[in-house]
Amino acid sequence: MPKPEHGKEVPLAYLVNDYGKPFASAAAFGNKFADWRNAARLKPVVWEDGRMRNYRAHGLRKAALRALAHAKCTPHEMLAVSGQSSVKQLQEYLEEIEQETMADSAMDKLAAAEIKTATAGD
């Protein structure tokens, strides 16, 4: 763990700025992430709605959390990966995945019912 500065504990940081220090804010990290994205020459992505979007750090975390939820990871496993501090912070992602799962289940049931109805007369 980094040495305390002026008597206060310094949190462990995996991503640091150009000076080896934790980023001062989420915005500072976001700006640096944009620099890294530009240096990697990643092209903007065209989404289903036709709008172009650049890769953002928050989008990567959201994609990772959604993939973990789809993989049936527990909320505490997701917290361990995301660095968030409470299940409440994950609730938005969990609700999105639950809604998608229920919609998929409903459509599967509808398709099965239509197949059953279509083959009942044979």
Beta-bridge partner residues of 53: 45
Indicate the DSSP class of residue 2.
P
Proportion of the chain above pLDDT 90, given as a percent: 16
Please state, in angstroms and rounded to a whole number, the distance separating the CA atoms of residues 68 and 42.
24
Tokens of 9: 């504990």
Tokens of 65: 């959390």
7: left (phi over 0), alpha (psi -120 to 50) or beta: left
41: left (phi over 0), alpha (psi -120 to 50) or beta: left
Q: What is the pLDDT of residues 61-92, one digit of tens each?
A: 888 888 898 898 999 999 998 888 888 888 88
pLDDT at 107 over 90: yes
